[in-house]
Amino acid sequence: MGEAYLTAVSATGASGLVSLDYSCLLHLQGLGRAPSRDLKFYHLAEIMTRPDNPPSPA
């Protein structure tokens, strides 16, 4: 299932993926370490706390 998911992600041309489920993310990251895949893996909290994110509207 993980390989099929990564194949689908790669087919979109995406450079990475974001997940809310940390265990799923770790599983996909382990499968995605193949040299033929150049994907980055992020938990949503990493994206939300990046300093370059604009502030939420008041």
Please report the DSSP string for 23-52 in residue order. Answer: HHHHHHHHHTTSTT---EEEEHHHHHT-TT
Residue 42 within a domain: yes
Question: At residue 14, what is the residue type?
Answer: A
- Identify which has the larger pLDDT, 53 or 30: 30
What confidence tier does 48 reach under pLDDT thresholds 50, 70, 90?
A: confident
Residue 9 within a domain: yes
Residue 41 within a domain: yes
Range of the domain at 21: 2-48
Total domains in the chain come to 1
Share of the chain above pLDDT 90, in %: 53
Residue 55 within a domain: no
| Mean pLDDT estimate for the chain | 88
pTM for the predicted model, two decimal places: 0.74
Alpha-carbon distance values, 50 to 5, 12, 34 (Å): 26, 24, 27
What pLDDT is attached to residue 25?
Answer: 93
